[in-house]
Structure formats: structure tokens, C-alpha cells
């Protein structure tokens, strides 16, 4: 998988996610499959439990089917999923 800034436009439901950093200490290290996404949260299936994680303050590691792991700041993901897919990305280079 080619990693580009367009990664924030990908459909994240079904990917494996891990919370790398968060001001909420109980969120750090949570990992599981993204089951649902709202404007401000991800719903992760962690073992047999469902955990809701706030996007804005967390940093996530997403692992895609080909084994690629990408770190994404959750603040970039805030917004309705369908709106995020339409968002234009300003390139910094």
C-alpha cells in the first residue's frame, strides 16, 4: 500500500486500530477492529468488549490488510465519515 496524505480519506471501518497516545490513560494501548465510526469517536471491538474512543485527542496506529501500519493524529479524522471522504487535503510539500 502506498502511504500518502490521502490516507485520512480511506474507509477505516474494518481496519485494525491501536491507540498509541491519548491524554486518557485507559485508552493507551487499546487495540481492536474498528466496528463503527461517528463524528467524534471510533467504536473498537477489543476482545469481546466494545470500547468507544474519542478521536480528537488520540493518536492511532491503523494496520491495513497488506500489513502496512500508519500513524494518524485523531484530530485529522474528526468529522462525519462521509464528509471526511470528500475533504480536500492541503499538501505541505
For residue range 29-88, what is the model confidence (pLDDT) as tens digits?
999 999 999 999 999 999 889 999 999 999 999 998 888 899 999 988 888 888 777 766
pTM (two decimals): 0.83
The pLDDT score that the predictor gives to residue 76 is 87
Looking at the DSSP bridge assignments, the partners of residue 60 are 19, 72
Residue 72 backbone phi and psi in degrees, to 5: -130, 130
3 state SS of 87? coil
Could you state, in order of their start, the residue ranges of all structural domains in the chain?
5-86
Fold exhibited by the domain 5-86: SH3 type barrels. (2.30.30)
The whole-angstrom separation of Cα 82 and Cα 93 is 26
Cell of 60: 492511532
Amino acid at each position: 500500500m502506498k502511504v500518502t496524505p490521502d490516507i485520512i480519506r480511506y474507509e477505516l471501518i474494518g481496519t485494525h486500530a491501536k491507540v498509541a497516545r491519548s491524554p486518557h490513560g485507559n485508552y493507551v494501548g487499546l487495540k481492536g477492529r474498528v466496528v463503527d465510526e461517528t463524528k467524534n469517536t471510533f467504536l473498537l471491538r477489543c476482545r469481546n468488549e466494545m470500547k468507544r474512543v474519542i478521536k480528537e485527542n488520540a493518536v492511532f496506529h491503523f494496520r491495513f490488510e497488506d500489513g502496512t501500519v500508519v500513524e494518524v493524529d485523531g484530530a485529522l479524522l474528526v468529522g462525519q465519515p462521509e464528509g471526511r471522504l470528500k475533504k480536500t487535503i492541503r499538501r505541505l510539500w
